[in-house]
Amino acid sequence: MPKEDNLPRILIVDDEIPIQRFLHTMLDSGEFSLHQAENGHAALAATVATHPDVILLDLGLPDMDGVEVIKRIREWSHVPIIVLSVRDREDDKVMALDAGADDYLSKPFGVAELLARIRGALRRAVHVAPEPVYKAGDLVVDLSRRRVSVKGEDIQLTPTEYDLLRFLVIHAGKVLTHSQILKQIWGVGYVEQPHVLRVNISNLRRKIETDASRPYYITTEPGVGYRMRTGGNG
């Protein structure tokens, strides 16, 4: 059995004792090394002291809002942050993701889903640089050659469509908010023009999806943004 020091470190930030116990019970399988913080200031200190591989963060902390904790951590660290919160409004999700959170789960959530999100965050953290070739299903995106193909046939994309797809691919598995994508692809002047993004996502789906009305590769997070399916070699 591996030593605890070699296990992925999970920092749980929540002030509710029942939730702490629930998460510890759920995750205490020998797969992770678990650490705890009960408030925002303790979370910041623990992030420095324990160097966690993933942070599970509640937004409703007693001393500061979780969004502020995310902003402070993002000033110096890229550690994956998964928000676990009873706040399920779209605005709350967007604020947390825009502040730098990598994912968002509304309470209550399933054990299998949380474990899948944690493992996905750990995989993405290992690959700091994007893989030169992204593969998922019949879609292949060769980032070094700027080549996109579906079922072996090249797909012609406009420069903007390619830049959009590339951004989604680089962050595959992560929820990207409308404003994050708009800032990256079109600039800050387009943040209040989500229709530009919707049109380009629609055009992109028509070119790469088997059924654009039931997208497989680019999924919608209602009211929040989009998530690119995690790639693989299978």
Q: What is the pLDDT of residues 109-131, one digit of tens each?
A: 888 999 999 998 998 776 555 55
pLDDT of residue 233 exceeding 80, the answer is: no
Q: How many whole angstroms separate alpha carbon 234 and alpha carbon 232? A: 6
Q: Please tell me the predicted confidence (pLDDT) of residue 103.
A: 94
* Multiple choice CATH, 4-126, 3.40.50.2300, 3.40.50.360, 3.80.10.10, 3.50.30.60: 3.40.50.2300
pTM of the model: 0.67
Classify residue 93 by burial, with Cβ atoms within 10 Å: 0-12, 13-18, 19+: buried
Provide the residue type at 234 as one letter.
G
Q: Please tell me the predicted confidence (pLDDT) of residue 88.
A: 77
Strand partners, 147: 142
Q: How does pLDDT run across 132-189, given as a tens digit for each residue?
A: 789 999 999 998 888 999 999 999 999 899 999 999 998 999 999 999 999 889 887 8
Q: Where are the domains of the chain?
A: 4-126, 133-228
pLDDT of residue 34 exceeding 80, the answer is: yes
Q: Please tell me the predicted confidence (pLDDT) of residue 164.
A: 95
- pLDDT confidence bin for 3, thresholds 50/70/90: very low
Per-residue b/e over 41-55, b at no fewer than 16 CB within 10 Å?
Answer: ebbbebbeebebbbb
pLDDT of residue 190 exceeding 90, the answer is: no
CATH topology for 133-228 is: Arc Repressor Mutant, subunit A (1.10.10)
Taking alpha carbons only, the member of 160, 172, 167 closest to residue 135 is 172
